[in-house]
Structure 1
Amino acid sequence: MGRRDHRPPPKRGDLDLSALMNVEQKNQLHQLINVILESMQKNVRDIFDNMGNGRDDEKEDDCESQKEIAKPLIEPTPVPAVLTAASANGFLKIPKSIEEATNLLKKDESEILTSSLNELKRDALTNFGKWRGTVLRRFGDITIKNGGNGGNVTNQGPHQQQGGSSRRTGAVRGRPTRPSGGDVPVDESNAALIRLYPPSPTPLVGLPKEKRALILHSVLLMLLGLENYSTYSRILLLNLASSMHIPMHVLAADELRVANGLAQVIKGISAEEIAARRAEEGKLARRYKVPPASTTNITTFGVNGGLAAPLASLGIGTVFGGLGFGAAAAAGLLGTMAESTVVVGTLFGLYGARATGKMADSYAKDVQDFGLPPLHGSLDKDYTDSKDVPAEDRRLRFVLCIAGWLAKPEDIVKPWLSLKDQSEAYALRWEIDALMKMSHALSTVFRSAAWTAAKKEIVGRTVFQCLEQNYWPIDLLQFSKVIDNPWSVGMVRADKAGLTIADAIVNKIQGERGITLIGFSLGARIIYSCLMSLAEKRIFGVVENVVLMGAPCPTDLRSWAAMKSVVTGRLVNVYSKNDYLLGFLSRSSCYLYGVAGLSSVSGIHGVENLNVSDTVTGHLQYQYHVGSILKSLGWEDLNRNQIVQEQQSLAMLEEEEKRLDQSRTEREAREALARMDLNKGARKTKAEKDQEKPNDGKKKAGGGGKQNK
C-alpha cells in the first residue's frame, strides 16, 4: 500500500460468478469499476494540478487582515520543529553530489518546492496506478459460464452461527443489520454517501436490491483477495455503493460480518505458533532484505487445506440471510485469504509486521505514557499485540483518536465514546503529566477575570486582527508566563508523538487495513506531524479519513497538498473564528502562514472545511463537540445517545461558566461599591479637615492677639 510494500501479487485464478450475473451485467460492472477508478485517479491528480484554485472565490466572511496575512506561494513551508533540516518543508533533500548541489543552486526556493511537489505527485500516481492495475487484472479473471444468471440470486440455505462468535447475530448470519435507535438515521447516512461520493450512472441500479447487495459483497471479497483492505479498496466500495443505490449501513454491516468471519478462522491460533511465524519472517527479512509481508503467500503453520467451508458456515458469500453463491465461488473471490490463516492473520496484524508489543515498548521511550486503550469491546487493557484482541472485536477498519489536552486521565477515552463499534477504535495515551499541566494552565486563564475582561476589550476585533496588530490586553499578557511554556512544551512533544505514530503506521500497527485519524487541539497537531512524515516516506493508501479540530498548524498550500496526498478519503479541517485562546497561544508562532484552527483551508482539491464558530466559542470546548461535529460531517458510525450526553455535559459546563461570570461580576460590583464608599469617606474626611483648618487659623490668630496685648 505504501512505498515499502513490494509484495508479489496474489496468485490468480478464474472467478466464477455465473450464479450471480450474466455476461451483460459483468460488462456493466466492469465499465462502472473503470469509471470509478478513473475518477479516483483524477482526484489524486487534482490535488496538485488545481492547487491554489478557489482561493479567491472563497465565500467565507474572514476579515481583510486574514487575507493580508496569507502569503504568496513562494514563502517557505513551516514544518514540525523536530524534523531535521534535511527534511524541511517535508521534501527538501541534502544534495548527494556536486552536480545535484549545482542544479539546486540554480533554482530559487519556489522552484525547488514545486519540483518536490511534482515528485510527490508522480509517486502518488504511480502507487495508485499499481493498485489500479492489480484490481483490473483481478476483475479480468471473472468468468461467466453458460450465459450466467441474469435474474435474481438463489438461496444457498441457512447458515449456522458459530457459538457466541459475534455481538451482532444478524450480521454473522448474512443479514445486514439496520441502525438501532442510537445510530444516525439511514436517510442521513445515505445523503452523506451521495454527497461525498456522487453516483456514476449504471444500468445495474435496475437490478433487485438483493442482487445489488450481493454484487457489492462479491467486490468486497475480491478486494480482500488482494491480501489487504487498503483505503483505495474502501473508497472504491463506497463509490460502488453510491452508484448502485445501496445504503451505507449495508456496506458497514457487510464489513462487520466478513471481519467476524475471518476473525473466527484465526481464533484458535496459539501464541507459540504466532511467535514461530514471526521468527521465521524475521529470518527471511534479514536474509533476503525484503519486508516480512512479502512472505505471506507461503502457506505454512496456519494452513488447514482450505478455509472455504468454515467461512461459508459463517455466511461469507451470502446476503440477507442466505441469498448468494456457493462456498467454492466465495473461496475463489477471497483467493489466498480463503486458503491460509497466515494471510488472514497478516490482515489483522498478527503477522507481517513487527510485534506490536515490542513496538509499543520502543515508542514508550520516545513518548511518555504511550498506549492505545480501546474504546469498545471486551479487551480490558491497552492494545499491545494484535493476538490479544478478541475475535468478536476485530474489524476491517482501524481508528485512532487523539485528545489534545486532559483535565483528568479519563479524558483520554471519554471524548470519543460517540463512535460506535463498526471500527476497531482506540485512543492514544501520551504525555499525561504534560497535558494535564497544560490543561490546568489553560483552565486557569480561561476562568480568570483577566480573560473575561480581555474578551470584552477585544470584542470589536477578530482573532486575526489581534494577531496582526499584536493587540492583547495587558492583564491577559500578564498570564502569558502561565500558559506559554506548557503550550510550547506540548507543541514540541506533539510533533515528536506525530513522528512516532507515523513510524507505527509504517510498521503496520494496524495490520493490512486502512486507518482513520481524529484529533483536537494538540491531538490535531500530532496528526499533522504524522501526515507530513508519511508524505515524506511516500506511504500511500494507508490513511483513510482524517479530521482535525482546532488544529494549531499552518494553512499553507504545500503542507495541505502533502497531507491530502496520503489521505485517500476525507481530510477535514474544523475551525472556529471565535477561538481567541488558540489565537492568543499562536501569537508567538508562525501565524503568518495561517492557523488551521482559526480559518478555512482553501485551494486544495478534496480538503473539506467545517466552520463551528457559532457553537465552539472556546478552545477547551472541542472535547464536548466531537460527536456533534462528526454528525455534521455525516460520519457513518455514531451513537446519537452519546452525542446527547455530550451536549448535556456541555450545557452543564456553560451553566457553570455563567455562574462563575455572574459571581465574578457581582464580586466586582461589590468591590467597586466598596471603593466608592471608601472614596466617599475619604472625601468626607478631607472636607472636614478642610473646614477645621480655617477655625484653627482663627484660634491661632486670636491667641496671638491676646499674647500681644
Structure 2
Amino acid sequence: MPFGIGERFKASKDAPSQKPQYDVDLVTLLTDPQRQDLLHLITAATEVMRTSLLRTFDTPPPKKSSSSSSSPSETSEKPVTPPATGETESTPNPKESASLSRLRHEATASFDHWQQDLLTRIYDILNPADLESRAGTAAHMQDVIGSTADANDSQNPLPEEEKHYPLDSDMENTRFPAIPTGLSTSLPNPAKPVVLHSILLLILSLETYDARSRTLLRILSTSLSLPPLTLVTLEKSIAKTLVTAAKSSSNSNGGGGGDMSADSSREKQKANNKWNRRIKIGIAGVAGAAVIGITGGLAAPLVAAGIGTVMSGIGLGATAAAGYLGALAGSGALVGALFGAYGGKMTGEMMQRYSQEVEDFGFVKVKPGVPDLLPSGEGEEGEEGPAPPLPPRPSSSSPPLPPRPSSSSPPATTFDEIQASAEKEEKQREKAREEDSRLALTIGISGWITSPQHFVTPWRSLSSHTDVYALRWESTALMDLGTALTSMLKTYGFAYLKIEIIKRTVLATLMAAMWPILLLKVGKVVDNPFNIAKTRAEKAGRILADALINRVQGNRPVTLVGYSLGSRVIYSALVELAERRAFGVVENVYMLGSAIPSGGEGWIGARAVVSGRLVNVYSEKDYILGFLYRTSAVQLGVAGLQSVKWPDGVESVDMSDAVEGHLRYRFLVGDIIGHIGGSELVDWEIVEEEKRKAEELKREEERMEKEAREKDGHGEKELEETAERVEREQEQRHVVKDVAQMKIAS
C-alpha cells in the first residue's frame, strides 16, 4: 500500500457527511498528550546531548594514588538523565586555556543553533494553524495502524536479517541513553516507527542530515523501545526513494540525471530566495497536499514511490510525507547535495586536489553496490612471498585508463569498443549508486598493509546499512611498514622475543625501556617505515578533515573506523575539524590499536566534534605497538595500550583477551565493532570468516613460539638475515616506483 493508510481510513468512515479527513500525520495520529510527550522527549534528548558536550570541557579528575584507586565496579559508567532547567549552562574551568575556552563557546553556539532550528521545525508541525479541525482521530488511527500491521506481518514476515541477531536485540538500547517518556507505554508499537519516520523526514527538510540529528534519532529509537534495525531500515527506504525520484525527475526534464550534480544547478539552487524556501516549508506544514503544487519536480515521483510508507506497508499519508520533506521534495539539486552527488564527489574530480597533496589519497567504495576498482594485480596476498610492488599512480594530466575487461568477455581492442565498455561500466556504477544510496556513511581506514587490497578487505565485514568507503592513503609507506612487520614476525627469533616481552608485560617494558638487546639491534628495519608512516598519517588526517568539511560525502553523517595508524589519521582529522569548527559532521568514531597518545588536549577537540560515540579500543598485550612506540614520548601513554581517562565521554574498551598482537586487528575489526557498536553495524557472516583467519594467525604464532622455545640460542643470526632481506625488498620497491614515475614524466 504505497500511499499509507490515509485512504483506507477515509473509506472506513460510515457517515459521508462528516468533515474531510487528512492523510495520516503526527497531528492525526497522536493525541494532544502524546504530542506534548513527543515534544518533551525531543527537547530532553537534545538537552542530554548538550550536557554531554559540555562535560567534554570539565576539569580532568585528580590523579589518584595506587592506594586510593577505585575498583572497576566503582568507576562504572553512570546512567545519563535529562538535566533540570538551568543546569545545562557550562561552568568555566579556571585552568582552561584560551583556545579551549573559544572551542567550548563555539561548540556550544553551534549546537544551540542546530537545536533551535530542529525544535522550531518540529514545534510548527505539531502545532499547525488548523490543529482543532484535524485533531481528534488519534485513537481510531492508532487502532487502524495496529490492525494493518498485524495483518501485513502475518502475510509478509520479516526478512532473516531483521529476525535473528548474533547478539541480544536489546544490546543496542544500552548504547544511547533512554529518556523516560509516556510514549513508550501509551503509543502502540506499530505506531512508533511512524513517529520516528516522521521526525527523520522533518530533519531532512532542514536540507542536511546533521550528525547530531542522527544521534538524536538513536536516542529517540532507544527511548521508544524500537528494535535496533528500525532506524537503518527507514534510512535505506527513504534514501532509495529520494535518489530514484530525483533521477526520474531529471531524466524527464531532459537533464539525463545531470541536473542533480551539475555546478550550474547547485548555483541556481543557492540563488533561490531563502524567504521563498521558508514559505514552501511553511505551507507544506499547514497542508501537505500544497507541496505538490508548489514544488512540482520531485513531489509527484516521491509520492508515487511511497516515501511515506514504513515497515509492514503502514506509515504517513503521501501528501503529509511530502509536506514534511519541504523544499527537499521538489529539488533534485538538494537531493544531490544531500548524497554528495550520489557518491560521485568522493571518487571524482574533487579528489584530484587531495591526491596531489600526498603521495596517494582517495576513497574506494566497499559496499553496497559495485565497488570502485583498485589497480590491476591487487588481489589478496598469498601466504608465501611478498606482495607485488604498487603500480605508479598516473598524473592528473594523464588520460583515464580504460576499464578492465571481465573474465567472461573478450578484451576491448578498438577505440569504439573501449569507449563503449567505459560507458557501460559507468552506467552500471550509476545504477548501483541510485539503488544503493544510504543516508549515512562509514569510512574505514587501514593502518598497515601488505597488499593494496588490504585497504578494502578489513571493511567488508561492515554492514551495507550505510555507504561504506575505504580510505586509500600513502600506499608505499604503509606497504613498507606492513612488509617489515610481517617479515619480522615470520622469524623464530621474533617469536622468542615476543615470549620475553609478554613475560614482563608490554606496559612495564615500554615504561622501563626493558626491551631485549637482540630486538633493538634489528629495530631499525621497522622503525624507519613506522616513523615515516606515522608522520604522513597526520597529514592524511588533515586532508581527510578538509574533504569532510567540503562535503565530499554530501550533507550526511559520517562514522570513522580505523586501526593502528589508521586511528592516527582519524585522530588528526578530528583535531583539524575542531580547529576549523566543523561541528555536526562526524557521528561516531571507533579507533582500534591506536598509535596516538592516550592523553592531552587534542582529545577534547576530538570529542567536541563527535556527536555520538568516541570509542578507544586497546590491548595491554599489543607487544608490536609497544615496540614501535618505544622510541617515542610515552609520558602521555599510548591509546592502543591503555584507556583514555579524560575527557569525559571518551569510551575505552579493553580487548586484551581477544587481541594479543597488533596484526590481528585487521581480522577482528568486524567482531569488535559488532560487539561494542551494535549488531546492525556489521555483516556477521563475513565477521565469522575473518575471525577464522585471526585464529589461523594465532595458531601460526603459537607454532613458531613453540619452535622458538625448542631452538638453541635466541635466533640472532636469523633476525639479522631477515632485517637485511627486508631492507633489500624496500629498496627494490622504491627503485621500481622511481623508474615508473620517470617514464610517466617523460
Give the TM-score range, shorter chain.
Answer: 0.7 to 0.9
Aligned twin of 2:233: 253
How many residue pairs match? The answer is: 591
Cα distance between partner residues in 2 of 1:448 and 1:312: 64
Q: Which amino acid aligns with 1:126?
A: A
Cα distance between partner residues in 2 of 1:184 and 1:404: 30
Aligned twin of 2:11: none
1:390 deviates by: 1.9
1:181 deviates by: 8.1
CA contact (8 A) 1:52 1:604 kept: no
Aligned twin of 2:45: 36
SS at 2:450 equivalent: coil
Cα distance between partner residues in 2 of 1:284 and 1:309: 20
Cα distance between partner residues in 1 of 2:502 and 2:193: 55
Q: Deviations over 1:461-519 (max 9, x none)?
A: 23232222222111000111111100011111111111110110011011000001000
Q: Is 1:149 the counterpart of 2:129 in the alignment?
A: no
CA contact (8 A) 2:175 2:677 kept: no
Q: Is 1:123 the counterpart of 2:106 in the alignment?
A: yes
Aligned twin of 1:97: none
Cα distance between partner residues in 1 of 2:136 and 2:107: 38
Cα distance between partner residues in 1 of 2:517 and 2:715: 21
SS at 1:573 equivalent: strand
CA contact (8 A) 2:614 2:651 kept: yes
- With normalisation by structure 2, the TM-score equals 0.72
CA contact (8 A) 1:337 1:344 kept: yes
SS at 2:598 equivalent: coil
Q: Is 1:392 the counterpart of 2:435 in the alignment?
A: yes
Q: Deviations over 1:313-334 (max 9, x none)?
A: 3332233333233211111111
Aligned twin of 1:278: 263
CA contact (8 A) 2:616 2:650 kept: yes
Aligned twin of 1:311: 302
CA contact (8 A) 1:205 1:243 kept: no
Aligned twin of 1:480: 523
SS at 2:361 equivalent: coil
Q: Looking at CA atoms only, which structure, 1 or 2, has the larger radius of gyration? A: 1
Q: In the TM superposition, what are the counterparts of 1:88-167 in structure 2 within 5 Å?
A: 114-142=97-125, 143=128, 144-146=131-133, 147-151=135-139, 152-153=141-142
CA contact (8 A) 1:353 1:507 kept: no
Aligned twin of 2:497: 454
Q: Is 1:565 the counterpart of 2:608 in the alignment?
A: yes
CA contact (8 A) 2:176 2:218 kept: no
Cα distance between partner residues in 2 of 1:49 and 1:351: 40
Cα distance between partner residues in 1 of 2:548 and 2:508: 39
SS at 2:372 equivalent: coil
Cα distance between partner residues in 1 of 2:602 and 2:590: 16
- With over 3 angstroms needed to count, the CA separation of the structure-2 counterparts of 1:113 and 1:206, relative to structure 1, is closer
Q: In the TM superposition, what are the counterparts of 1:438-587 in structure 2 within 5 Å?
A: 438-587=481-630
Aligned twin of 2:192: 212
Q: Choose which of 166, 170, 173 in structure 2 pairs with 1:193.
A: 173
Q: Is 1:27 the counterpart of 2:36 in the alignment?
A: yes
SS at 2:473 equivalent: coil
Q: Choose which of 365, 369, 381 in structure 1 pairs with 2:356.
A: 365
Aligned twin of 2:161: 180
Q: Which amino acid aligns with 1:36?
A: A
RCO greater where, 1 or 2, for CA within 8 Å and sep 6 or more? Answer: 1
- With over 3 angstroms needed to count, the CA separation of the structure-2 counterparts of 1:310 and 1:271, relative to structure 1, is closer
1:441 deviates by: 0.8
Cα distance between partner residues in 2 of 1:295 and 1:666: 81
CA contact (8 A) 2:347 2:364 kept: no
1:667 deviates by: 4.6
1:367 deviates by: 2.7
Aligned twin of 1:166: none
Aligned twin of 1:347: 338
SS at 2:247 equivalent: coil
1:355 deviates by: 8.3
Cα distance between partner residues in 2 of 1:211 and 1:182: 19
Q: In the TM superposition, what are the counterparts of 1:358-437 in structure 2 within 5 Å?
A: 358-381=349-372, 390-437=433-480
- With over 3 angstroms needed to count, the CA separation of the structure-2 counterparts of 1:60 and 1:623, relative to structure 1, is farther
CA contact (8 A) 1:573 1:597 kept: yes
- With over 3 angstroms needed to count, the CA separation of the structure-2 counterparts of 1:496 and 1:276, relative to structure 1, is closer
Aligned twin of 2:684: 640
CA contact (8 A) 1:402 1:523 kept: yes
CA contact (8 A) 2:495 2:701 kept: no
1:364 deviates by: 1.1
Structure 1: unaligned runs, 5 residues or longer: 1-13, 62-109, 160-169, 673-709
Cα distance between partner residues in 2 of 1:183 and 1:467: 44
Cα distance between partner residues in 1 of 2:335 and 2:196: 21
- With over 3 angstroms needed to count, the CA separation of the structure-2 counterparts of 1:650 and 1:272, relative to structure 1, is closer
SS at 2:170 equivalent: helix
Aligned twin of 2:222: 242
Cα distance between partner residues in 2 of 1:153 and 1:283: 43
1:19 deviates by: 2.6
SS at 1:429 equivalent: strand
1:53 deviates by: 7.0
- With over 3 angstroms needed to count, the CA separation of the structure-2 counterparts of 1:297 and 1:474, relative to structure 1, is farther
- With normalisation by structure 1, the TM-score equals 0.76
Q: Which amino acid aligns with 1:544?
A: E
- Between 125-134 and 114-123, report the one with greater CA deviation: 114-123
1:666 deviates by: 4.5
Aligned twin of 2:743: none
- With over 3 angstroms needed to count, the CA separation of the structure-2 counterparts of 1:127 and 1:429, relative to structure 1, is same
Structure 2: unaligned runs, 5 residues or longer: 1-22, 74-92, 281-293, 375-399, 401-425, 717-746
Q: Deviations over 1:523-565 (max 9, x none)?
A: 0110011001000000001100101111111122411111000
Cα distance between partner residues in 2 of 1:216 and 1:667: 64
- With over 3 angstroms needed to count, the CA separation of the structure-2 counterparts of 1:325 and 1:449, relative to structure 1, is closer
Aligned twin of 1:322: 313
Percent of paired sites with the same residue: 37
1:224 deviates by: 0.8
Q: Which amino acid aligns with 1:330?
A: A
1:16 deviates by: 6.2
Cα distance between partner residues in 1 of 2:675 and 2:33: 40
